[in-house]
Amino acid sequence: MADLDSFRSETRSWLEANCPAEMRTPMRGEKDLCWGGRHFQFQSGAQKQWLDVMASRGWTVPDWPTEYGGGGLSPAEAKILKEEMRSLGCRPPLTSFGISMLGPALLKFGNEEQKKKYLTEIARGEIRWCQGYSEPGAGSDLAGLQTKAEDKGDHYLVNGQKVWTSYADQADWIFCLVRTSTESKHGGISFLLFDMESPGVSTKPILLISGNSPFCETFFDDVQVPKDQLVGEENKGWDVAKYLLGHEREMISGMGLGSGVGTGASGVMLGPVAKPEDPLLRAEIAAFDVDALAFAAMSERFIDQLKAGEAHPAMPSMMKYAGTELNKRRNELIMAAGGSDALEWESEQSKGGKPARDWLRSKANSIEGGTSEIQLGIVAKHILRLPGA
Amino acid sequence: MMTLNEDQRLLQDSVRPFMAEEGAIKKQLRYWRDINCADGFGHSLWKQFAELGLTGIMIPENQGGAGLGSVEAGILLEEIGRNLTPSPFLTTAVAAVRALQGSALAERWFPGILAGETVAALAIEEGKHHDPANIALDARRQGNGFVLDGAKQFVVQGGSADFILVAARTGGSPNETAGLTLFAVERGAAGLEVENTQLADSSWAARLKFDKVALDADAVVGEVDNGWEPLSRALNAGRAGAAAELVGVAAGASELTFEYLKQRKQFGKLIGEFQALQHRAAHLYGEIEIARAASLKAAQLLDAGDEKAEMFVSVAKAKAGRVSALAVQEGVQMHGGIGMTDEHDIGLFMKREVVLSELFGSPRFHAARVAELSGY
């Protein structure tokens, strides 16, 4: 315990000394996130400096092993770092699908060379990854995917189409599910990594109801992928895919906590909205706060259970379902509290239509990463063991 | 850490089979109900609790107890809830013990509680809704002591109690927390009229009338006019405890229900094969996990003396109440016709839930409290 106490005080003073003041102000939205990658435009020198100092300490991925660019921290130390960053208001130095999704899968399924190369690049924020999972004909039924990878001796030849690829137009590399065999549905899928600059890759942003285009259609036309970019064994990619989906669900479930934690202006979990005069709205916000604070306790418990090896493998599905439904409700309440102010789409006072756009964006939460219905089906089958589920 | 430590796990491992066996619905709830016992619980079981050291779980070690906290009491209460075990544990071993803790009256009452011989009750409510500051029951000074006049209701196990902790007003006016005084009134006090009433879940609560009930000064718990302090301790522990018991009620009801989905056939299929029921069952499962986490968090914060404890206790009581209501409603609905019969246990869970949700404040009361404590 004494060790942890000294780790806490050292961490705190290091953060105070190294986190630029600008990186200790609240983020104004998604645009303040640092995604890293070859083409990333830093918002400021401070943003780049913050990434560099954290990466040099391995603290962009504090609990990954040091040999792969991580901080080598124990779960308890990583938790302390997170707490200290929160209490000082430090922004996350780097956000990426490499950290939250691919990294954990590579740590489990990647070979030594792959771990050394890809994990280190992720930790330093050098490569930005995107996820090639869904296809036009394979949404909830993900294992029905048809993108084909043919064995051409020293490489695979990839042809097909992905959809809902988040930020594909800004990503450097893709982790992609492909079909290497048609003999078995789940047993014919492989997990490939390749460069988005490879000849034959093209992307097309999809305009969403929020007016934004965070997702793309991604097309593969005779893309050559070297064989050493296969993760795990050929035709065993579904295991990697499922493991990664668990991490994706954990990440998405965190959205239920919102960004307003502790602001205290109105609803605890709602963020700074004006004190509701309408008693019915107040009641709805209070009921939401009860659910959101209870879910925050659940999130804390879930992380501790994961670390202790006590979490059921299907728990991420429960968390994803509960967290995303909560985030949709949060956005509904922000719209209700905002009244006609929140309907403005472009105005300065609405920060470019932030409430309405966020509200519309939140509707995807219970669709992406497996719909709520898919998650409930997984819980029914794997946790409750209901028949025929 | 939001997982149980080794000692807590050992406690859970020992009380779970004990309560499933000794505290079972058939052996306790149905038995005492069906013989029309006016206590609604078995004194012999309370004795067994004492033999296992459970009645003194929250009594400090230097006074003969286990010196444990709300987390450990919650472990026990979840099992009590799961088996619908009627006992004075929540009011006596949790709420009353916390109220008396550190006061001169602890020495008077703790030995009997430790021995499983003493039962306590809390007399707070004066209206049909929980409203602990809204107290009018009058306690005026007379000579060296006090005289109490007024009425109380929803005094759980008030008819069985050896002493009743009574919140009375010695100063200030209704809705003020200042000017309250907590008294320990012994069974059979002159001028105290006890009307024992059975509630929907077959438990018993009393309506009390105080007609010039004279008390000595040493009946005061803590300080005169400062009764809010021991009362708050009792309420926090009682609410956190009720939340844990509600999680147990939800867990017990849902376990019965999930099992039923795997046995009952209609249209030539197990009804658990229908997606319409699968998704509702999965949703319920998640809600119970969340309520359990909230309940554990509240207990941990209380035990740590954290300033956020009050807020989280309300979160836990509100969440556990809502989730438990969902569990029993889904439980009866998914059982269909059999769920409406007295013969099946699922309806008993529904009846327990409605009482326990009201005790120490309904989900609405606690959601409103979350709003107040958050400044809106």
Note the maximum CA span of chain A.
70
pLDDT in tens, B55-98: 999 999 999 999 999 999 999 999 999 999 999 999 999 999 99
Assess contact for A235 and A227: CB atoms under 8 A. no
Q: Is the pLDDT of residue B19 over 60?
A: yes
- Mean pLDDT along residues A87-97: 93
Q: Which residue of B has its CA nearest to A379?
A: B282
Q: Is the pLDDT of residue A266 over 90?
A: no
Q: Is the pLDDT of residue A27 over 90?
A: no
Kindly determine whether residue A301 and residue B296, on different chains, have CB atoms separated by under 8 Å: yes
Our CA dihedral for B260, B265, B266, B271, rounded to 10 degrees, sits at 50
CA A146 to chain centre: 25
pLDDT in tens, B281-338: 999 999 999 999 999 999 999 999 999 999 999 999 999 999 999 999 999 999 999 9
Kindly determine whether residue B368 and residue A383, on different chains, have CB atoms separated by under 8 Å: no
- A284, A384, A385: best mutation site toward chain B, by most B Cβ within 10 Å? A384
pLDDT in tens, B93-129: 999 999 999 999 999 999 999 999 999 999 999 999 9
Cα separation, A129 vs A86, whole angstroms: 26
Kindly determine whether residue A291 and residue B297, on different chains, have CB atoms separated by under 8 Å: no
Question: For chain A, which residues make up each domain, given as ranges?
Answer: 2-102, 129-235, 240-383
CATH 2.40.110.10 matches A129-235: yes
Tokens 């059975």 sit at which residue? B198
pLDDT band for position B134 (cuts 50, 70, 90): very high
Q: Is the pLDDT of residue A350 over 50?
A: yes
- Mean pLDDT along residues B196-208: 98
Q: Is the pLDDT of residue A303 over 90?
A: no
Assess contact for A55 and A69: CB atoms under 8 A. yes
Assess contact for A173 and A193: CB atoms under 8 A. yes
- In this predicted model, which residue has the larger pLDDT, A267 or B175? B175
Cα separation, A47 vs A37, whole angstroms: 14
Would you identify the CATH topology of the domain A240-383? Butyryl-CoA Dehydrogenase, subunit A; domain 3 (1.20.140)
Q: Given CB atoms, is B279 within the 8 Å cutoff of chain A?
A: yes
Chain A residues at the B interface, defined by Cβ less than 8 Å, are 264-268, 275-276, 282-283, 285-287, 289-291, 293-295, 297-298, 300-305, 308, 310, 318, 321-322, 373, 375-377, 379-380, 383-389
> Which two tokens mark A380?
């029914």
CA B87 to chain centre: 10
CA-closest candidate to residue B369, choices B311, B329, B326: B311
Give the per-residue pLDDT at B356: 98
Cα separation, B244 vs B94, whole angstroms: 12
DSSP string, B333-353: HHHGGGGGSSSSTHHHHHHHH
CA-closest candidate to residue B83, choices B249, B300, B210: B249
DSSP state of A153: S
Q: Is the pLDDT of residue A263 over 60?
A: no
Q: Is the pLDDT of residue B246 over 80?
A: yes
- Catalytic residue selected from A248, A250, A284, A368: A248
Kindly determine whether residue A289 and residue B370, on different chains, have CB atoms separated by under 8 Å: yes
List CB contacts (< 8 A) between B316 and chain A.
294
Assess contact for B91 and B156: CB atoms under 8 A. yes
User: Does the CA dihedral A118-A124-A127-A129 come out positive or negative?
Assistant: positive
List CB contacts (< 8 A) between A305 and chain B.
2-3
Structural domains in chain B plus CATH codes: 6-119 (1.10.540.10), 122-225 (2.40.110.10), 229-373 (1.20.140.10)
Rounded percentage of chain A residues whose pLDDT exceeds 70: 94
Q: Is A83 a catalytic residue?
A: no
Q: Is the pLDDT of residue A258 over 70?
A: no
Give the per-residue pLDDT at A214: 87
Cα separation, A76 vs A71, whole angstroms: 13
- Mean pLDDT along residues A105-126: 97
Cα separation, B109 vs B182, whole angstroms: 15
Mean pLDDT, chain B, integer = 97
Q: Is the pLDDT of residue A264 over 60?
A: no
| Ramachandran area for residue B264 (φ above 0: left; ψ -120 to 50: alpha; else beta) | beta
- Residue A111 distance to chain B (closest CA, Å): 33
Q: Is B6 exposed, middle or buried (0-12, 13-18, 19+ CB in 10 A)?
A: exposed
- Residue A271 distance to chain B (closest CA, Å): 12
DSSP string, B187-220: TT-TTEEEEEEE-TTS-EEEEEEEEEEEE-GGGE
Domain A2-102 CATH class label: mainly alpha
Kindly determine whether residue B293 and residue A318, on different chains, have CB atoms separated by under 8 Å: no
pLDDT-wise least confident of A188-202, A343-357, B252-266: A343-357
pLDDT band for position A253 (cuts 50, 70, 90): confident
Q: Is the pLDDT of residue A262 over 50?
A: no
pLDDT band for position A250 (cuts 50, 70, 90): confident
Assess contact for A15 and A85: CB atoms under 8 A. yes
Give the per-residue pLDDT at A261: 38
Q: Is the pLDDT of residue B139 over 90?
A: yes
Mean pLDDT, chain A, integer = 91
ipTM for the complex shown: 0.96
- Residue B161 distance to chain A (closest CA, Å): 34
SS3 A156: strand
Write the CB contacts of B281 (distance below 8 Å, at least 6 apart in sequence). A380, A384, A386, B254, B257, B258, B261, B272, B330, B334
User: CB-hemisphere CA count at 13 Å for A247?
Assistant: 19
SS3 B250: helix
pLDDT in tens, A239-248: 999 999 888 8
Cα separation, B67 vs B58, whole angstroms: 5
Q: Given CB atoms, is B283 within the 8 Å cutoff of chain A?
A: yes
Give the per-residue pLDDT at A268: 65
List CB contacts (< 8 A) between A322 and chain B.
286-287, 290
DSSP string, B11-41: HHHHHHHHHHHHT-TTTTHHHHHHTT-SSSS
- Residue A287 distance to chain B (closest CA, Å): 6
